[in-house]
Structure formats: structure tokens, C-alpha cells
Chains A and B, each alone.
Chain A
Amino acid sequence: MFLIDCPYCGPRQQTEFHCHGEAHIARPKDPDAISDAEWADYLFNRSNTMGVFYERWVHNHGCRRWFNVARDTVSDRILAVYRVGEKRPKVTK
């Protein structure tokens, strides 16, 4: 079970959190201006990264805030935790 350092609450058990998949997928500003294929890409396609992966977590049994996590999918090590709106940090495994 992960120990996740919530940027608002501090380290807590993984059972307090939910993972909501890949981070930094912005909703297209003008959905009508893009093709069906581009819209489908936004809707359905997610990267399946081996290595450093940026993902969204929510502390749903805590502060209920969303934040982002950089996790190495090979080692399951959490390399960085940062708030929504912050730039994705450069991390090394």
C-alpha cells in the first residue's frame, strides 16, 4: 500500500485516495474546432508509460483535493507530488 504525501494534509495511506488516471490532459478550449479524431483522442487515448508517469489523485477520504503525482510505474516509487495548476516537475528515477 502506497504512502502518499498529500500536498495539503501530509503523508496518508493509499486507501484514503483514489487515482484518476493520467494528468495534464486539458479539455480542448473549443471542442467544435477540432476533428472527431482529435476529440476521440482527448476522450479515450491515454499513454501507457513504462517509467515516469504523471497522474491525478484525489484525497477523497481526506481533504477531497485533487493533485498530481509523478510515479515510476516500474518501481511504483512516487517521485514528486504537486498541486493542480503547477508545472510538471522534472524528476529522475
Chain B
Amino acid sequence: MTQKFRLAEGGRINRDRPVRFRFDGITYHGYEGDTLASALLANGVRLVGRSFKYHRPRGILSAGAEEPNALVQLREGARTEPNMRAPQVALFDGLTAESQNRWPSLEFDVWSVNSLFSRFFPSGFYYKTFMWPASFWMTYEKFIRNATGLGKGPVGKDPDRYEQRHQWCDVLVAGGGPAGLMAALAAGRAGARVILADEQSEMGGSLLSDTSEIDGSQSADWVAGIMDELRSMEDVTILPRTTVSGYYDYNFLTLLERVTDHLGEDPDGKTPRQRFWQVRAKQVVLATGAIERPLSFLNNDRPGVMLAGAVRTYVNRYAALPGRKAVIFTNNDSAYDTALDLQRAGAAVTVIDVRKAPRGARIDAARAAGIDIEDGRVITRANGGKRVTGVIIRDLDESGKSVTGGSRSIGCDLVAMSGGWNPTVHLFSQSRGKLRFDELLAAFVPDKSFADERSAGACNGSMRLSDCLAEGLRAGLAAARDAGFNVRKAPTAPKADEAEVGATMPVWLVPSGKRLGRGGKHFVDFQNDVTAADLHLAHREGYVSVEHLKRYTTTGMGTDQGKTSNVNALAIMAELQGVSIPEAGTTTFRPPYTPTGFGAIAGRNVGAFMDPARLTAMHDWHVEHGAMFEDVGQWKRPWYYPRDGERMEDAVNREVLAARSAVTMLDASTLGKIDIQGPDAAEFLNRIYTNAWLKLPVGSCRYGIMLHEDGMVFDDGVTTRLAKNRFLMTTTTGGAANVLTWLEEWLQTEWPELQVYCTSVSEQWATVSVSGPYARHVVGSLTDYDKLGPRDLPFMTMAEMKVAGIPARVYRISFTGELAFEVNVPRRYGLALWQAIWEAGRKYGITPYGTEAMHVLRAEKGFIIVGQETDGTVTPMDLGMDWIVAKKKGDFIGRRSFARADTARPDRKQLVGLFTEDDPHHVLVEGQQLVEEVKRAPPMKMVGHVTSAYFSPNLGRSIALAVVKSGRERMGETLYAPRLGGGRPVKVTVTDPVFFDKEGVRARG
């Protein structure tokens, strides 16, 4: 197809590099340098999407980030991305895009019937319609999702790579238009480290669409000269295609750089698709420009109704003519530039200016060019369906609120509208700057800065080119100075010949001569299909606050976040309330400025890199021997070792039985280990743990529980005295880091007089726990057997010796309740030790076991697991562990809280065991509630809950641990455990929590 609307010459496109692309299945041609939007316009494509609620036909409105209509589904398969703004999509060869929000096709869309039923879609439609009955939401949601244009998410895994950069700079300049370029140049010449970022493919901003002269040269040539100098500066980083998306505390800003999006593919297999920058800037210069406002007239959403500045951009920058017979509708001077450029490009032009007898150089130039100017008039209605075919105009009366006189029709295929300009204050506002309303511009402009930043140019309310250049220069110099640079030779501001700008005459709601809501719609928010009538309805229903209005009508939501609609909506609301616009207030500008994909935010931290996996020295062996793994904190721990075809429960039962009948081995390397040294180490432990530590002999181990100051259990473990002033503490696997922080906190903040030093040594040791009746035989065959005897190495002691020729610490501690030796060696010997024990244990049938069997074994013994039997509301007494709480040693953390009325209550939940009564094989579910009396339906009085439940192969039945109110007084009582999802509640008997070897003789043997 030919590019019928491509101008014969001009534009910043590369006519030597034609590009093919597909839109809705049809192949078109464009040029390198085009955006999807400019190429579609050049091909005469006007209808590009359907609207969100009414499915009205929509065309391209803008030429930038503010685009509310032309949202497309870009690319295909795993790379597909919804809601991409066509004016910001760089064209590349082979690009595919689909229109959104239509079915079955853009030309014929069944949901456009919504438009006929629009009186059923008023403000607050979702709240009024879909919220009741609540159970129907599921049905509604499906319907809404199908009917609305949220696009489609990709199905496959994102094949692209994303990177993150952390950077600092002296001056960050956001925006590379005239003000931004001058700021970067001034700061760069001062020697500052500068980052200059702009969302466009090249620097220049409005100058790329402009025809004016700067210092006697064409604006584009002037930009090229400045860029040459900036590129020559070593400390200036130039980032095109980079959106400054967020402005956070202490000048921390996020930037999204689209590195290869414009190429379609990664050119060398090494380049990321996007790069997410996190920049800390000493000073920031905001030069983010301004966004043009639409005018709210009847049917202002017809394809072919565009923003005037955007039309100018398409004509001058892309050599694409959006229409041949244009009507310019404006309330300010800027659109006259568009009128002149359109005429020069060969279009017939009529200007409708709401201002009566406007004066100024631009207007004179238009008159001189023979352009018809209809002043003091408005468009009361746009005609046409899938594209605009004409407008009706009438005189605006003196009030500016209604029309008079007869109507006249003008045929056209393009309406270029300008309702004035809103400075792009998003980043300024995010930085907590305060805005003020400028009456001359009829817009919000920056007032008081909060952060170390300055606004310059159009975003500061300066709409003349010469002012933008001068302001940018001043801002760049001041930023460099505040960043600590001596500015010796300041560059002078370039000269631009430009006419004075006349005042804007706001007409927030263009009267149609009919009652609002009749004869068509005045769209205020195109993306969310919010009309002026919706705002009036919300007002009648009593919505006063701008934040409420926003949520109720959905104005300013969606992917464009109201870039073209917020101020118009606010102004209409202020008019209705009879207050000034600043009195009505503004909504909050939140980051990001434009949508940012999660891929870029995640960067390389996906898949295996999302969280580090901690592996023990024996990990490969576990993998080779078919272990299933469980995540414990960041550690990968063997869960169980299934043999060929074995189900989990069979494997676990086999491992559990082996521990009590023969011998087993466990990789216990992951337990937290903290080396505690110093002359006050014993005193410190005495305060941290509930039991006494001063008299623990060297070489002995002791189990300890630590509490928070509220008296609740927070971690436990065995600590061993290695020397008079040195202990090795073990903690739970998941709690290791928190315990170390806890210890350091007390030492640094409360007891700085104690001389104690804590070092994490969790990673320095590999631990094999050998457990079972033959444990001594197995370990003994690898060392001097006599050193392991009951009197040589009694229960709860430690000795250093060589095991399998490796220097080791051997602890006689047991978490299974069996005779057990925990052999600790430096990590690098871990695998060698494991293999040696495995070989030595073969003749005893040694069985490796995982965490699941470990849990069953300890539950058979009634040993608690912190975080399972405890949840931060459990005291040692609740656990029946009064014996571990020292009565005479003096104060320790948490002790005072035992005397609090709530902690001393007799009806606290206490640890008990449970047996299922009817079916001994039925295993309860962890977290299952326990009740005394079963009722037909909740609520029932709950007296406790199951904390652990397993099948115990040694008992040949199920067991459970639970916490139950006054549990110790309920031995033998029957309780009921209702089941999730119904079914008969399970009858249980309360028992002692120790199910096996109550006297504990086996571990001591």
C-alpha cells in the first residue's frame, strides 16, 4: 500500500530505509524514524481502537506519552505487550500490532451497542451495578474483562533480558527539549557529572517539531550542534528513549531506558531489551515540557479529532499529513503555528478561535497567509462516525457558557484542537513540590520546591522558546553550583525570534446549544470514557472531593493517568461547585510517569536469581541420591529420599523406622551457628536465655530457649561451652539471622558494658547427625570408639577428635530421641565426612533421612519446633517447659512479663498431644481448629488448634501436637476438629505431648 498521506519532503524520517509492518493483519510501509502512529497516519489509517466502555471508534489523539486512545497490542506470543501507546512505539521492520477492545473486528464491533445503552453506564457504574449481590461478582468480572480493553497478557515466559543500573550524578536533567539541553550544557561545561534523559528517540523535544530559528540556524541544526558538544563531554551521559519515571525521597529517581525496543530484536544476543536505572542525583533539573489539553465539545472523540500540537509534530517531524481539510479549534495562540504549518504542507485550513478578536503576531501571520479565522466561535458538534467528516460552529456568547446565533457546518477530515497547555508537573509533584494555579495559562505550575530540584521551560509554565532556553541555562548553572562546582564562564543564552504569546481563554465545557448529555457526548477522559455529563451526575450525587470524584467516575485512571483529562475534569467540577480551580484541589501524581513493565523492575532477579539458594557441602550427594528438597529459609534441605517408585509417605515411614531400629544420617549443616566470645559471654547468655549458664562446664552442651521481652518464645537451640569465655550457639535454620541481630542489638544498645563478640559461623561448618541404636558403632568405626562411650562422651557433651581423619567436633545431642552424634567438620570436608559415614554405615543399613522424617521423630518425642508449636504468643510455661525457666539466677529477657496478668492466666493455650479416636490412621491438618462442642454451623467456641500432625510408624497410628486452652487439665478429654469444606468433625482425645520413650532413656544410652 502507498503512503497516501506522506508529504513529499521533510521530516526526520529516513526515506532510504523503508520499513514493513502489520496492523490488524494488514501490511503497511513506513520509514525508519517513524512511530507506529506516524506511519499509520501516513498510510491514511484513522480508526485505531475502540473505547473502553462504549466501544466508540477512536483515532490517534496525541504524539506522545499522553495518548489515551491509540493503545495497541504490540508484537506476538511471549513478547506481546498490551496497551502500548502508538505515538511512542518506534517502527521497526516486521513490527506487528493489533487494535484492542474490539470484537470481532475494529470496523464492526458488537460491543459498540454499549454506546446506545449509555444511560445504563453512568458515573459509579461499577459501584452501582456490579457490587450486589456480592456473590455475583465472579460472574460480572468475567463479563467485564471480556468486554473491556485491558489487552492480553503474554502467555509464555518473557524471553527478553532486562538489566538494572545503579548510578549517581551531580545533575540529572529530565527532558531533552530546549530547556533540558541548555541545562545539560551549562552543567556539563561546569564540569558536573550529568545524566540527560529523554523519552524520545532523539534529543530536541519540541524543537524536533518546530520550524523556528535559534541563533540564526534552524532549530534542528541548533540541536545537532549542542548534541555534538554534549557528546564530547566525558562526564555527560546521554540517554535517549529513557523515561524518568519516578522521583522519590532524597533525589532518588528511576529511569526506564528502552534499549532495543526500537530494533525489534536484540542485535547481538547480549543487549538487554530495557534497562532500569536507579539514580541518586545531587541536583535535578526538570525540563519535562507541557501537554496540550483537549477541548470538551460534543463528539470530540471522533477519529480525526487531534491535539493541535500533535498535528504539527506529525507534519513537521514525520512528514505525515493527518488530514487535507483541517479545522483548527483553539482558545490560545499556539494552534496558529499548526495552522500555518498545515497550510504550508498543502492542507486547507480554517481556524475557530473561542476568543473574540484575538490579537498578536501569530494571528497576523495566519491572516497574512490567507487563513480564514472564525473568532468568538466554537465547535458545537463534530460529525462523522469512524472518522470526522465536519463540524458545526456557532457564536459563543459573552458569558462563555452558551452559544447564540445560527449554526454553520464546515466539512473537514481533521480537527486540530488546543485547549491550552498543562505544564508536565508530574515529577515535580512526585518530589513533593507545591503547585500554584497560573491564571494567564489557566494551568498548574510549580510553586515551592521541596527537593533539590528546579523546573525549567514549559514544565515551569514558560511557553516561549527564548524563555525556555534562558531558563534552562539558569537552571543548569544553579544546579551545578549547588552540586559544588565553580561556574567560571557561563554560556550565554541563545537567541530565538519568537512572537509574544497571548492569553489563553479557558472554555472548559464547550456549549452545544443542547442540554448536556443530549445529542452526543462531551468526552473529558477519553481512555476511561468519562463525559462531562458523568461529572455533572457525580456532582448531583454529592461528590465534592476531587479524590472521590476521580474514583467514582474513573477520571484520570488507566494507563494514561489522566494526562489529558485531569485539569479539564477538575475545572468542570470547580465550575459546578462555584469555586476556583485551585480551591477544588488536584489529585496526587504518583509514579511511574508512564507504565513500567515488571520485567524491567525485576531486572535479572528472576528465576534462580530471585533469591539466593543456600546449599550445604553435601548437596550434590543428596541430588544424586534422589532427594526431594524443601526450602527452609533460603536453604535447600533434603525433605525425604524416595527409593524407586516409593511414595512420600512410604519413604518417610521407612526413614522414621530406621532411626529407631537401626541407624540414620541427616544433613544438619543448615542450623544457625553463632560463635560467642568474650569475658562476659556467660553472663550475656544468662540474660538472653531463660536458664542458667554461668556454671556450665567447658565441653558441655545445654538446650536454651530465648524469649522476647514480652515473655514469648522466639528461638531455641543447643549452646556449647567451648572454653571459659567462648560458646557456640546453635539457632533454628530460619531464625539464624534474626537471632544474630537480636544478640547484637542488646550488646550495642542496652548492655554496651558487656565485652562480648558474636560471629556467624553457620556457613563454616558441615554437620552430619548420626542417629539410632547403631550410631555409636558407625561413628566409632571412623574414630577412636572408646572416646564415644557413655562415660567418655556423656549425653549433652562435646569432644574434639578426628573422624575419618578429619578434625571434628562431636556433640552428643539428639533431636530424634535416639542415641545420636552430631559430627561437625569444616565445610570443605563436609562431603568427605558424609561419604565416609555412608560407607561405614552400610553394614548397619544406614538410612539417610530428610526433614520430614526429622519432624515425625521429634513429634513422637514431643519436641517443639519454634514457628510451628509457637507463633509469638506462646510462653515456655505454655509449652510445659517450666523446667527451663530459672527461678533464682536473676533477671533475663522476658522474665518480668511472666507476672503480667495475661501471661499468668491459667486458661492459656497449652501444648498437648492428640489422638484421633475413630480412625487411628486419620492424620489431622496443621492449623485445624479444636472445639468442645460441634454445632451445625459456625461460630463454634474454639479452644485451640493443631500445630503438628503426622502418621507415626513407630506407634502405628497418627499423632498430633496442639495448643489447647487449659490443655494440661484436659488429659483424656474429647474434643472435635471440624474439617475445612465440611464432613464430619474429627473426634480427638487430649493426651500427653510425649508419645515415645517418655523417660528419655534411649538418647542417654
Contacts and interface: CB of A to CB of B under 8 A. Distances in A.
B248 interface: yes
Contacts of A36: 899-901
Given A39-B896, A39-B900, A56-B749, A3 B280 contact: yes
Interface string B733-769: 0000000010011001110100000000000000000
A64 B744 contact: yes
Contact of B741 (A3, A26, A42, A60): A60
B753 to A, nearest CB: 11
Interface string A56-90: 10101000111000000001100000001100000
A20 B891 contact: no
A45 to B, nearest CB: 13
Centre residue among A27, A32, A42 by max chain B CB count within 10 A = A27
A2 B249 contact: yes
From DSSP, what is the main secondary structure of chain A's interface residues? mixed
Given A1-B249, A58-B741, A76-B249, A84 B748 contact: yes
B897 A43 contact: yes
B247 to A, nearest CB: 11
Given A32-B896, A75-B450, A84 B249 contact: no
Given A3-B252, A20-B745, A76-B249, A27 B750 contact: yes
B621 interface: no
A24 to B, nearest CB: 10
Contacts of A32: 891, 896
A50 interface: no
B796 to A, nearest CB: 31
A40 interface: yes
B709 A43 contact: yes
A7 interface: no
Interface residues of A, number: 24
Chain B, interface size category, equals 20 to 34
A2 B250 contact: yes
B896 A85 contact: no
A1 B752 contact: no
Nearest to B250: A3
Nearest to B711: A43
B397 interface: no
Contacts of B750: 26-27
A75 B710 CA distance: 33
A40 B900 contact: yes
B280 A58 contact: no
B776 interface: no
B900 A1 contact: no
Contacts of B710: 43
B776 to A, nearest CB: 41
Contact of B896 (A2, A31, A58): A31
Nearest to B740: A64
Contacts, number: 48
Contact of B250 (A1, A31, A40, A66): A1
A1 B249 CA distance: 5
B895 interface: yes
Contact of A1 (B252, B741, B748): B252
Interface in A21-44: 26-27, 31-32, 36, 39-40, 42-43
Interface in B428-449: 432
A1 B900 CA distance: 40
A54 B549 CA distance: 38
Given A31-B891, A43-B710, A65 B748 contact: yes
A31 to B, nearest CB: 4
A26 B436 CA distance: 46
Contacts of A3: 250, 252, 280
Given A31-B896, A32-B896, A36-B900, A66 B252 contact: no
B360 to A, nearest CB: 43
B249 A31 contact: no
A58 B745 CA distance: 9
A18 to B, nearest CB: 8
Contacts of A58: 741, 744-745
Nearest to A34: B896
Contact of B748 (A2, A42, A66, A75): A66
Interface string B872-902: 0000000000000000000100011101110
A84 B752 contact: yes
A1 B432 CA distance: 14
A27 B280 CA distance: 38
Contacts of B741: 58, 60
Nearest to A30: B891
B761 to A, nearest CB: 15
Contacts of A26: 750
Contacts of B901: 36
A1 B248 contact: yes
A91 to B, nearest CB: 17
B896 A66 contact: no
Contacts of A27: 709, 750
A76 B744 CA distance: 27
A58 B737 CA distance: 14
A56 to B, nearest CB: 7
A67 to B, nearest CB: 9
Interface in B896-940: 896-897, 899-901
A85 B752 contact: yes
A13 B250 CA distance: 10
A86 B752 CA distance: 13
Interface string B252-282: 1000000000000000000000000000100
Contacts of A65: 748
Contacts of B450: 75
B744 to A, nearest CB: 6
Contacts of B252: 1, 3
Contacts of A84: 748-749, 752
Nearest to B758: A64
Contacts of B752: 84-85
Interface string B713-750: 00000000000000000000000000001001100111
A34 to B, nearest CB: 8
Contacts of B897: 39, 43
Interface in B404-463: 432, 450
B814 to A, nearest CB: 34
A66 B891 CA distance: 24
Contacts of A2: 249-250
A60 B749 CA distance: 14
A65 B749 CA distance: 9
A61 B481 CA distance: 33
Contacts of A31: 891, 895-896
Minimum-distance CB pairs A-B, first 7 = A31-B896, A3-B250, A1-B252, A66-B748, A66-B749, A27-B750, A84-B749
7 contacts: A3-B250, A36-B900, A39-B900, A65-B748, A66-B744, A66-B745, A85-B752
